[in-house]
Amino acid sequence: MAGTATLTSARNPGIDLLRGLSIVLVVMHHTALRIPLEKGVLADWLPERLLYGVQYDGFESVFLFFVISGFLITSNSLARWGTLEAIDAKAFWRRRAARILPCLLILVALLCGLALAKVPHYTLEQPGQTLPRAALAALTLHINVYEARTGYLPASWDVLWSLSIEEAFYLAFPLVCLALARTRLLVPALAALALSIPIVQAGIHHQPIWFQTNYLQGMAAIAAGVLAALLIAARWRAAAVGASAPSRVFAWLRSFGRLSYEVYLTHMFVVWLVVDRFTAAGADLRTGWVCYPPVLAGAWALGWLVARFVSTPLERALLGADASRTPQRRAELKEISA
């Protein structure tokens, strides 16, 4: 489908920057739901639209993650196997499992323990929800379906809705490539999926949670990323991808991007810690902006610790010598371990 063009697998600072911006907006969004900036002193100085975007565009940023995920998975697959029809499904699934499952399993176990201990913010409160069923949904790619049926889970559980969509994509991607890449059907199928969002939204507007977290809408964003990677592979030289030198001004944002998975899974622990301290101190919402720097710094630090001491070592152990086979992943593992 994509011919024999091979994308570079070196780290792309532009992609890291986009991922960093996305995860920062997600963290700020989840903070703003508890301490809104429009009720603080910043509202006296900054335009309302700017404050709204900084606070509440975090949900849309998750869909940017989907696009980036589709792009990276496709470009890395092309770099590894040359063409999508040559993809090794077992090797693909093994690498994805080694990257995703260790942190996910540990997080679900931790959340179950906190829920059993009746810790505030982590206890299931919706009448139709049970802890075993929530854990099962988190581990079997349908926590978004479970929430649509029973209501929102606590925030640290709720973030896993997007992982359900991404994991479903990871399961389907090699099978779709093997089935369609030798034909001329892959690109039309991806294009149809990418353009399906208005139709999907029109059909489910009556269910607010499912309207936001359904599989097709997430898959449409991922398909857009896959198409972008295929277009670059077909039309441009690999050297043109990420050729510009990264600016040091945004190095901190790119570091968020490199840790985006770990930060995404764990940032609510930091959000609740800071929000609870702010609330217990009886502070005025007018000064709520002071919570945002420690939340962002703490989310990055916790993400770094998880990557350095949990996800990276476990990924290496599960994959062995294959863990750093591509230059991109090798560079990422070195940066996290430094």
Average pLDDT over the chain, rounded to whole?
A: 88
Q: Is 126 helix (H, G, I), strand (E, B) or coil?
A: coil
Residue 222 to residue 194: CA distance in whole angstroms: 8
pLDDT, residue 248, reads 86
Residue 72 to residue 66: CA distance in whole angstroms: 10
Percent of the chain at pLDDT exceeding 90 = 73
CA-based R_g, the chain, Å: 20
pLDDT, residue 245, reads 67
DSSP state of 274: H
* 201 vs 237 pLDDT, higher one: 201
Q: Is residue 328 pLDDT above 60, yes or no? A: no
Task: Give percent helix, percent strand, percent coil of the chain, each to the nearest 5.
Answer: 80, 0, 20
Q: Is residue 200 pLDDT above 80, yes or no? A: no
H or E segment at 69? Answer: helix 58-81
Query: How far separated are the first and last CA of the chain, in Å rounded?
Result: 39
Domain locations along the chain: 13-337
Q: Is 306 helix (H, G, I), strand (E, B) or coil?
A: helix
Residues constituting the chain: 338
Residue environment code for 136-152, b if the CB has 16+ CB neighbours within 10 A, otherwise e: ebbbebbbbbbbbebee
pLDDT, residue 252, reads 94
Position 235 confidence tier, pLDDT thresholds 50, 70, 90: confident
DSSP state of 184: T
pLDDT tens-digit readout, 49-78: 888 888 888 888 999 999 999 999 999 999
pLDDT tens-digit readout, 116-152: 999 999 999 999 999 999 999 999 999 999 999 999 9
- Is the CB of residue 30 less than 8 Å from the CB of residue 155? yes
pLDDT, residue 9, reads 46
Residue among 36, 28, 45, 27 at smallest CA distance from 287: 36
Q: Is 69 exposed, middle or buried (0-12, 13-18, 19+ CB in 10 A)?
A: buried
Residue 91 to residue 196: CA distance in whole angstroms: 30
pLDDT, residue 334, reads 54
pLDDT tens-digit readout, 253-282: 999 999 999 999 999 999 999 999 999 999
pLDDT, residue 336, reads 52
* 198 vs 131 pLDDT, higher one: 131
Q: Where are the alpha helices (DSSP H) in 119-185?
A: 131-139, 143-150, 155-158, 161-180
Contacts of 139 (CB under 8 A, 6+ apart): 104, 105, 108
Contacts of 217 (CB under 8 A, 6+ apart): 63, 197, 200, 201
Q: Is residue 242 pLDDT above 50, yes or no? A: no
DSSP string over 19-51:
HHHHHHHHHHHHHHTTS-GGGSGGGGTS-HHHH
pLDDT, residue 321, reads 57
Position 330 confidence tier, pLDDT thresholds 50, 70, 90: low
Residue among 201, 241, 247 at smallest CA distance from 71: 241
DSSP string over 77-102:
HHHHHSSGGG--HHHHHHHHHHHHHH
pLDDT tens-digit readout, 154-178: 999 999 999 999 999 999 999 999 9
Q: Is residue 283 pLDDT above 80, yes or no? A: yes
Residue showing tokens 């063009």: 5
- The arithmetic mean of pLDDT across residues 7-32, rounded, is 86
Cβ atoms within 10 Å, residue 221? 23
pLDDT, residue 239, reads 45
Q: Is residue 10 pLDDT above 90, yes or no? A: no
Contacts of 272 (CB under 8 A, 6+ apart): 121, 155, 156
Residue 295 to residue 274: CA distance in whole angstroms: 7
- The arithmetic mean of pLDDT across residues 100-121, rounded, is 97
